[in-house]
Amino acid sequence: MRFQLLSLIATRVIYKKARRFQKKAKSENQSVYNDLLFQLRKNFNSYNVERKRVMEFRDKILPKAEESLKLITRGYREGEFDYIDLLDAQRTWAETRISYIESLKSLNMFIADIERLAVMKIREQ
């Protein structure tokens, strides 16, 4: 009888410890989940901002910089612009391209981070 009582007490102690461990694990799991969700939301917002920036570069800024360079080049050949104007247009075009490439790099970094956090692929259209 005494052995059964000790066995019952030991079982209850083990059960209580297991429940505490389970609650702690569940709490830590929820904390990790919340942290991952926060990071995912933050990266997704940054992705959207950078995607819009890339589209702006591709659709508006780069074409205008290229057109400006063409006009200045033509004007230089016809004697309307100085060599400094041509160099300035080339520098502006090159800096614009560099900014576009940096923006593409940032966009792809955000995509990689989101895929890592969400464990899924994002297909860019």
Domain ranges of the chain: 2-118
Residue 57 exposed, middle or buried by CB count within 10 Å (0-12, 13-18, 19+):
buried
* Exposure string over 95-111, b if 16+ CB within 10 A, otherwise e: ebeeebeebeebbeebb
CA 51 to chain CA centroid, Å, is: 10
The tens-digit pLDDT sequence of the chain (125 residues) is: 666 767 777 778 787 887 888 888 888 888 888 888 899 999 999 999 999 999 999 999 999 999 999 999 999 999 999 999 999 999 999 999 999 999 999 999 999 999 888 875 655 54
- Two structure tokens written together for 38: 């926060």
